[in-house]
Copies of this chain bind each other. A is one copy, B any other.
Amino acid sequence: MEVFNRFIAPKGFKFGAAIVGIKTNGKDLGLMFSDQPCKSAVFFTTNKVQAAPVQVSKEHQKAMMPQAIVVNSGNANAATGKKGLKDATKMAQTTAKSLGIDEKSVLVASTGLIGEKLPMKKVEDSIKKVAKELSFAKGADVAQAIMTTDKATKQVSVQFDLDGKLITLSGIAKGSGMIAPKMMINEATMLAFIFTDLRISQKTLYKILPEINEKTFNSITVDGDTSTNDMVVICANSIAGNKKIGPQDKNLKTVAKAFETVFSSLAKQIVKDGEGASKLLEIKVKGANNDEEANMAAYAIANSNLVKTAFFGERANWGRILAAAGYSGAEFDPQKVSLKFNGLELVKGGVAVKVDKRKLKPIMQKYNIKVELDLKQGKGKASYKTTDLTSEYIKINAEHRT
């Protein structure tokens, strides 16, 4: 399996992007089109406040195999009432008409400011224009068009061989702030679009993707704020011509590995571009009573402002980590826990280990820090990727309307 840190269009997919002027600068509208209707899985936000495009896309995905996605940035089309629903539907309609497909085979996504109306006339004109200029080479343009506070585009591709056929699985994503995805199949949060020419059954997608989503997108957090808008769309158009992958296929492991590589890479790219982030922290909790409690502890640590500012300050203030685990709701005996930073033991049996500062200091100065907390209760484990909390985060979010 080959992994590329750029977007390579799988066979039969075309892309296009344009500048509508919703954002103050840069591309802000993207179109993604498949020559064939796609087997698909979509993870939507679980936030009770669901943006209009989320509502419309849910309905469309239930009704029909998707063949196109239209997306805008700069405006979330959320908390916009009936007008918002009408606008999201209109985006699908205009896309469908321009491409000669059914409006229900179009998914709609938006990201940006909540509570503002879209400049629909300009949006429609741009969709019509972009639809005429689609190309397999413009995936990276769409990656640009979905950026908001992102500093870099997020792209990845994997290619592998199946039955002598070349399979391409590629994704783009956006996300920098308001990142704490809580996604379920047909209920989720973030913008990621993943395309493949693989021939695979719908049932198989639903079998393998929820767990991969849990381990990747649902295991990152920047600020603990779960968005109203975002979604992860997976489209498989079958054009590669391999023997159809079913739920018991001998190649299922290879396929799952390819999906996990793409999901994981995009999730990591999002955390690395976390608003103001200066460090990438991996919070691993093991020895909990069960995975759920491990998850509660890891999530509390990954979202603790005190923990995150300590890492920004490069201070090994491990008491804040124990305190966060302590209020997370996970059950454990504080007298038993152990804690390591990049393999260096700082706490054993609930108390401080004498640590050589010459060993600790270079660890704290690293960009990647792995925090391992062992609760010594049972076999439950969980892992979160997160960032530190920096003055730059405050600046970005106090100054920008995102």
Contacts and interface: CB of A to CB of B under 8 A. Distances in A.
A113 B319 contact: yes
Interface stretch (A73-81, A101-109, A256-264): A73-81
B76 A330 contact: no
A223 B224 CA distance: 12
Copies assembled: 2
Nearest to A311: B398
Nearest to A346: B115
A271 to B, nearest CB: 15
A187 interface: no
Interface string A383-401: 0000001110111011101
Contacts of A331: 48
A78 B330 CA distance: 18
Given A323-B225, A394-B391, A50 B334 contact: yes
A206 interface: no
Contacts of A402: 306, 317
A233 to B, nearest CB: 21
A178 interface: yes
A401 B315 contact: yes
Contacts of A175: none
Interface residues of A, number: 66
A349 interface: yes
B225 A306 contact: yes
B352 A115 contact: yes
A315 B113 CA distance: 12
A121 to B, nearest CB: 20
Given A47-B327, A115-B352, A320-B225, A313 B398 contact: yes
Contacts of A391: 391, 394-395
Contact of A323 (B49, B389, B393): B49
Interface of A: 46-50, 76, 78-81, 83-84, 113-116, 177-178, 180, 182, 223-228, 303-306, 309-310, 312-313, 315, 317-320, 322-327, 330-332, 334-335, 347, 349-352, 389-391, 393-395, 397-399, 401-402
